[in-house]
Amino acid sequence: MSFAPLSLQATYALISALDPSLNLPSDDAEKDNAIRIARETGKWDSLVKVGEQPTTFWMRQLKGTDRTWLIGHQSRNRLTDLELCEIAFRLAIDKIDNFGSFHTVKRSKVEGRDLATNEVLDAIYAVNADPSIGQTIVAELGGVVIQRLMEGVAPKS
């Protein structure tokens, strides 16, 4: 199984630590480390259970103006942390692979920004009929997007 490597230019793939197809260490610190290494190196193969395919979230590269807008949007609307992660996720998500029958991310304009509609969040929150699981996934992946956007992709060393 191959995954597109991380990129600073093209869309990049994210996989949630909650994905049931991943075989992760039970210790939290070891699990975080395994996810960090896979995200940095793009090497997920050793973490994926044999014969299984994880759900892959393809994210767009965001620009400096997205950063400015996101900061302003948060300030104007006093967003909670989860709401901020949802907005960042909707800004960045391009498509989702291996997510049941869901394939196409529809988009709409919000304050001139091109965001995915809430349909994508509703589909994620419907997983296992337990919105809290989907919210954890969106918080995790939206958090990655925010970190890349706010802190930049820092020199890796």
Q: Which residues would be at the binding site for other proteins (CB under 8 A)?
A: 5-9, 29-30, 33, 37, 40-42, 61, 63-64, 148, 152-153, 155-157
Instruction: Return the amino acid letter for 137.
Output: I
Q: State which residue, 38 or 124, has the beta carbon closest to other proteins.
A: 38
HSE (side-chain half, CA atoms, 13 Å) at 75: 6
In the complex, minimum distance from the CB of residue 120 to other proteins, in angstroms, rounded to a whole number: 23
Closer by beta carbon to other proteins, 27 or else 52: 27
User: For residues 15 and 22, what is the distance between their CA atoms, to the nearest angstrom?
Assistant: 9
In the three-class reduction of DSSP (H, G, I as helix; E, B as strand; rest coil), residue 109 is classed as strand
Nearest distance in Å: CB 1, other proteins: 16
Looking only at the bridges linking them, the beta strands covering 113-116 and 56-59 are unpaired
- Residue of 118, 121, 111 lying closest to 69 (CA atoms): 111
Our CB check for other proteins shows the closer of 90 and 148 to be 148
Place of tokens 């992760």: 24
Query: Which residue's CB is nearer to other proteins, number 11 or number 98?
Result: 11
Q: Give the shortest CB-55-to-other proteins separation in angstroms.
A: 21
Q: Least Å distance between CB 29 and other proteins? A: 6
